[in-house]
Amino acid sequence: MEEIVSLWSKYGPSLLIVLATGICGGIINCLMFEDGFTLPHSFTSKKGIKTWSPGFLTNIFFGIVASFLVWAFGAKDLDLIKQAGIGILAGTSGNNVILNFLQKKQLAVEKTKANEYLDMIRDELVEDQEEDDEQEQPRS
């Protein structure tokens, strides 16, 4: 129980700011980019599939997740005012922030693969060059 209290005293205020700024950012996103709040609703597609749309709750969810990601990957070391500012910006950008994190991860994976292929090609070229050099040497 002491560990939970210790963690809450260390991260609790920051996590409340993350939650609040993510919600605020999601609301700002609704107002700026979607001309207001689309209420949750269900509809049937042209193919006859019944779907539920969470409406503005999607923006708020993505705002909270984006605010948390930015906090977890560096903003937690800042003072609370800066955390709030960054959290609102991240929350407003919402899914763009999340996509950016995912794209950076994918880019790192692709870079690793490309470097592995490049190493394989270099090794193959060196082997081919060595074989050519051996064949060109005059026999005595």
Taking 80 as the threshold, does the pLDDT of residue 35 lie above it?
no
Residue 27: both structure tokens together:
């609301």
The pLDDT confidence band at residue 9, using thresholds 50, 70 and 90, is: confident
H helices of the chain, in order, are 2-33, 56-72, 80-93, 95-136
The pLDDT confidence band at residue 140, using thresholds 50, 70 and 90, is: low
The pLDDT confidence band at residue 98, using thresholds 50, 70 and 90, is: confident
Residue 92: CB atoms within 10 Å:
25
What are the sequence ranges of the domains in the chain? 2-106
* pLDDT tens digit sequence for 68-96: 988 888 877 888 888 888 889 888 988 88
Full-model pTM = 0.68
Token pair 């003072």 is found at: 79
- Reduced to 3 states (helix: H, G, I; strand: E, B; else coil), residue 77 is helix
**How many Å separate Cα 63 from the centre of its chain?**
12
Q: What are phi and psi of 50, to 5 degrees?
A: -85, 130
Contacts 24+ apart (CB under 8 A), 33-37: 34/59
Mean pLDDT, rounded, for 20-38: 88
